[in-house]
Amino acid sequence: MNCLHNADLTEFNTFGVRSNAKRLWTLDSLEDLSEFITLYNESRNPLILGGGSNVLLTKDVEGDVFHVAIKGVTYENNDDTSVFVTAMAGENWHQLVEACLKKNLYGLENLALIPGTVGAAPIQNIGAYGVELKDRLVSVQAIDLEKGEFRTFNVDECAFGYRDSLFKRQLGRWLIVSITLRLSRQFEPVINYSPLNQLETNDLTAKDIFDTVVKTRQAKLPDPKRLGNGGSFFKNPVVDKSLAESLKQEFPDMPTYMVDDSNVKLAAGWLIDQLGLKGYREGDAGVHEHQALVLVNFKSASGEQINQLADTVLAKVKARFGIALEKEVRVI
């Protein structure tokens, strides 16, 4: 396992903020796992990083940092209609979506261009445009870092919720090694959400959905290579139906999405936008001009400055709407 001392983590987080680690270890093969478990348990305040797309580093990391870069994808026929796809944690998520689409394996096209690695996907239960990871997942293979044992979780055992999972609630307990998905040989479009619901359904293909999702995300979300960001910084809040109805009376144009008979999901970006915060800046930390859910590093903002901006947004939304937004990005 490779080790870099006094490592600069700027290139290991998509916000591009400066943070240093005393030691940065890279896991790039399964053979590294035994050594990793020993080092992890000996380290004070260790941190596991994948693509660094859902983390905001607000200070130097005192403990060891472990960068998971184990790669590999296998395909196994399940039956005449589906295939099991097992991907290692270090694989790039979007590249996996592309690879499956090229093999005419369907079900991930709505999840195109979500930043990060495969290993991070179950932690957040990533989702977009009406599809969540749990809808396609068979199992997660992980290491119990307390016991040093492998364990396979089925979907129910992952205890998935909206941008939530057992792995998120027990951060530091599990290292995700790989995931197994069940993808279909037959294309069944999920086009309930805009702009997919505006597509012509005649002769609609998975590539059409993939291309539309990519185009939409590129138009709304900045490229982290050009403008540091971590994607959506805030979760869309799920509120009681009565609160949603009350807000709807005051704000008739407010978008709402029924979750169940008593809960409604609201659009956090819409709430922030109503406060006129698109394009708002505090130094080099800012709210993106096209997507209010995204906080950006214009050049030299620190992680702490970006986090302070996030707290400002939270306070303003709470004061205006009475809703306490949650941060989707993990703040360290």
* Active site positions, annotated: 163, 232, 328
Helix spans in the chain (H): 33-42, 93-102, 121-124, 166-169, 206-220, 241-250, 268-274, 303-321
Q: Produce one character per residue of 269-297: b if its CB has 16 or more CB atoms within 10 Å, e if not.
A: bbbbebbebbebeeebbbbbeebbbbbbb
Is the CB of residue 224 less than 8 Å from the CB of residue 53? yes
The arrangement of strands across the sheet holding 294-297 comes to: 228-232, 294-297, 285-287, 281-282
Alpha helices in 120-267 (DSSP H): 121-124, 166-169, 206-220, 241-250
Q: How far is CA 295 from CA 60, 209, 224, 232, 277, in A?
A: 21, 27, 11, 8, 11
At 73, which amino acid appears? V
Are residues 27 and 66 in contact, defined by beta-carbon separation less than 8 angstroms? yes
Q: What type of residue is 16? A: G
Of 64, 76, 69, 194, the residue nearest 130 (C-alpha):
194
Give strand ranges (E) for the chain: 2-8, 20-27, 47-49, 55-56, 65-68, 73-77, 82-88, 127-128, 131-132, 137-144, 149-154, 174-184, 228-232, 238-240, 256-258, 263-266, 281-282, 285-287, 294-297, 330-331
**Whether the Cβ atoms of residue 107 and residue 210 lie closer than 8 Å to each other:** no
CA torsion sign for 294, 300, 303, 305 is negative
Query: Tell me, what DSSP letter sits at residue 164?
Result: B
